[in-house]
Amino acid sequence: MKNLVDNTKEALKKGKKKRSWPRRILKFFIWCAVAGLLFAIGIFAYYAKDLPSPGKLNKRQVVESTKIYDRTGEYLLYEIHGEEKRTSIPLKDMSEIVRAATIAAEDQTFYQHYGVQFKAIARAAIYDLLGRKVSQGGSTITQQLIKNTVLTPERTFTRKVKEVILSVELEQRFSKDEILEMYLNEIPYGSNAYGIQAAAQTFFGKDAKDLKLAESALLASLPKAPTYYSPYGSHLDELKGRQEYVLDQMQKMGYITSNQAASAKEFDVLAEIKPFQESIQAPHFVMYVKEQLVNKYGEKQVEEGGMKVYTTLDWGKQQIAEETVKKGVAANTKYRATNAALTAIDPKTGQILAMVGSRDYFDKSIDGNVNVAVRDRQPGSSFKPYVYATAFKKGYTPNTVIFDVETNFGTKDQPYTPQNYSNKFSGPVKMREALARSLNIPAVKTLYLAGVDNSINTAQSMGITTLKNRGRYGLALVLGGGEVKLIDHVSAFGTFATNGIRHDKTAILKITDSRNNVLEEYKSSPGEKVLDQDICAQIDAILSDNSLRSPVFGSNSPLRFDSRPVAVKTGTTNEWRDAWTVGYTPNLVAGVWAGNNNNAPMAAGADGVYVAAPIWREFMDKALANMAIERFPEAKEIKTGKAVLDGTIQGEEKEVTVCKIGDGKYCLANDNCPSEKKKRKKKFFSAHSILYWVDKDNPRGDVPKQPQKDPLFTAWEKGVVKWAEGKEFDVQENMEECKSSDF
């Protein structure tokens, strides 16, 4: 350029001495123009031969975020993205005002030029040579699109030439609107937001089609310097100034009126910016879904593939769940319980409707990001229904009589003598009463009768995925000696609700790729029959009978429902480390765990009915409010012909000659009786444990001939003997002959 200027000056000087100077100058400029044209053609040809074709620009695979929605598709729960958060949308889904703002800010002659503005390029080059700044760059929207999609970002003469060539070619292949659409889907806006849709959702929490004028102008201000003008940065005054400049340009171009510009300037647009944090709803559920997606499709596809994931989440029930958990944890401070989790499932489909993994996902003090709903925790007595269901499968009945008496299930050297919550014993009870009142000794006996392996099989068939190392578990399993996941526990209880039909839990309804091709879609299934309907009806009847549980839980506990039948079971572990409540109707099943993530014990008395049940009850009340009232099938009355299975304390009646030695006490008559008057005939009813009357593996079969061969027979009989002393029942075999000292 300097040589050209110097040569021009020299030519002018020489021209003053000769009469033909005008012709020589003209000839000089003609040759310069021809040389420049040939040079430009040569440069174009040289660089054009190795350039990529921009013709497939609109069909190239663009990095797009994966979006996770609720079941309706109306609520965006989360965007999964790598370094670029992007959602490509058609031009028709971008408001006209945001298009106008972009043109006013970036390229005011966009609809007039052919891809480049040579004047602007020349001006920028001269200013660059002179070391001066220029308020407007030399790049058109077309050039910026090329720069951001096809070329590398370095600032060299070679890259600029390539940019010009490709921009001109792009304009020949696509319409202006197509170019503008590609640009608005590609350009970076800062904070990992690429494209106008991602920017609108990141900064304002709305779609691009819903942006207001002030918001559109602000977003159009960002591409010039996304970091400098970031709404989360320290140059907010400069950002506001840039926004007002864009509004002025829009007015000058006739896109808006002066009144509209003034109103938009007065609007406090910065107050509308969403807080700077990862925008995520139902975070534990979202991360649960994301893990499934990554396992199936891989990290790269999930972060960059632009999938749309429509989940099973019911946004209304999720909000209820979050509110009740937060409220419940606040109320549980008196029990020193800092956390809780809740899961709700549609038992008829297995679809997860709500999931809250902790009281606050972002609270690091309680490890809030840990999803307790999918962690292993001991379930306490809430495990008992699986064991009783197994016993019923084996032939025992809800009316089976079992003794709630002190019993050592271990050995003399290693005793195992579980206690009831009340530290009291009830004597002979029916299995239905034992389950409803959560009595521990009858539960352990029921597990022995049902079998540990059989009970684990039942639980796993219903949906429990843990308890795999069976050698670890003994009779304490029924009291919560194993570990289960809340989400599995809820899913498995759902099998009771559906009359024994198991539906695998699911969190996803449909997944589409970036071109709306369906990758997978939920299909309704009849489910798998894993439990007899009559057995489920028996469990339903027991767990929904408030009068049965009242002697232990009281008649007005949170477990009582008057408006509809609801089956429910609580659980509490040793040292008050876990509190549970899991319950269901035929159309909704939900469970709550409460405790501390670090496994610290809660305060004494932090029972499931006090710590977990209030949370569960409030959720059920609100979640069921607009749901149909459905009833459980009626449980059939079972008659086996065996007294102990049909509700009678079975025993042997014998007549012996006795002598009365005190109030209600007798000895077997012999010569030591001082008078014939004291001798009499008396009938005694000899009470025994159930092991005396049934083969535990075939309870409806023959009475065992040698019941004492059962390893626990003696221990169980001992408890019954102790209970029977002084009652109308006695054990004839233990009565001693009369001694002279008795009289």
Q: Which residues are catalytic?
A: 106, 381
Alpha carbon 594 to chain centroid distance? 17
Give the integer Cα–Cα distance in Å for 9 and 325. Answer: 85
Total Cβ atoms within 10 A of residue 22: 9
The structure tokens 């695998």 sit at: 504
Tokens of 399: 């009316």
Give the integer Cα–Cα distance in Å for 429 and 540. Answer: 19
Q: What DSSP string describes 181-193? A: HHHHHH-EEETTE
Tokens of 155: 């600032």
The structure tokens 């300037």 sit at: 265
Instruction: List, in order, residues 6 or more apart from 709 with CB less than 8 Å away.
Output: none
Give the integer Cα–Cα distance in Å for 648 and 685. Answer: 13
Q: Write a three-state SS string for 509-542.
A: EEEECCCCCEEEECCCCCCEECCCHHHHHHHHHH
**151 in Cβ contact with 163 (< 8 Å):** yes
Check residue 52 and report its DSSP letter: P
Amino acid letter at 687?
A: A
What residues pair up with 579 in beta bridges, in sequence order? 572, 594
Instruction: List, in order, residues 6 or more apart from 489 with CB less than 8 Å away.
Output: 379, 382, 464, 580, 582, 591
Q: In what order do the strands lie in the sheet with 339-346?
A: 351-356, 339-346, 588-595, 578-585, 567-572
The structure tokens 């944090």 sit at: 277
Tell me how far CA of residue 166 lies from CA of 59, 89, 137, 229, in angstroms. Answer: 16, 24, 18, 29
Q: Which burial class, exposed, middle or buried, applies to 228 when counting CB atoms under 10 A from its CB (0-12, 13-18, 19+)?
A: middle
Residue 701, phi-psi category: left (phi > 0), alpha (psi -120 to 50), beta (remainder): beta
Residue 306's nearest CA partner among 121, 507, 61, 595 is: 61
**462 in Cβ contact with 432 (< 8 Å):** no
Residue 168's nearest CA partner among 115, 219, 224 is: 115
Q: What DSSP string describes 603-669? A: -TT--HHHHTHHHHHHHHHHHSTTS----PPPPPP---S-TTTTT---EEEEEEEEEEEETTEEEE-
